[in-house]
């Protein structure tokens, strides 16, 4: 029988045992995440939001009216400042910290043409 079986709340452990329960772990992820996001410039935050929405660098360049190389430089800066290696890790980091991938206040809805 597992040692935690029968106990009400078995403590969760991070790989280094630093967190005693899931709430502390989530709160620490959120705190660390918020601290990283504050290091992004306003333009990098725009690029970050578009990356989270699934846009590629070329699409971001068109949406923000910047050159593709500038969009790529912003993407690389976001990945570096958020201490990840790629966009997939950005998505995982965002989800672990917030429980969502979308900031609904920052999402624009597509415009439809009148018939």
**Per-residue model confidence (pLDDT) at position 5:** 44
Token couple for 59? 């699409």
Q: How far is CA 33 from CA 2, 67, 110, in A?
A: 33, 29, 29
Q: Coil, helix or strand for 40?
A: coil
Other CB atoms within a 10 A radius of the CB of residue 81 amount to: 16
Q: 57-64 and 42-52 helices cross at what angle (nearest 10)?
A: 130
Band of the pLDDT at 101, cuts 50, 70, 90? confident
pLDDT tens digits, residue range 33-83? 889 999 999 999 999 999 999 999 999 999 999 999 999 999 999 999 999
pLDDT confidence bin for 1, thresholds 50/70/90: very low
Q: What is the pLDDT of residue 96?
A: 85
């Amino acid at each position: 029988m597992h040692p935690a079986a029968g106990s009400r709340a078995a403590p969760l452990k991070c790989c280094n045992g630093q967190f005693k329960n899931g709430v502390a772990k989530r709160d620490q992820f959120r705190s660390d995440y918020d601290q990283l996001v504050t290091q992004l410039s306003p333009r990098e935050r725009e690029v970050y939001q578009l990356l989270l929405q699934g846009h590629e660098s070329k699409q971001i360049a068109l949406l923000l009216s910047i050159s593709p190389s500038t969009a790529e430089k912003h993407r690389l800066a976001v990945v570096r400042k958020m201490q990840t290696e790629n966009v997939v890790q950005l998505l995982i980091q965002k989800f672990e910290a917030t429980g969502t991938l979308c900031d609904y206040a920052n999402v624009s809805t597509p415009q439809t043409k009148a018939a």
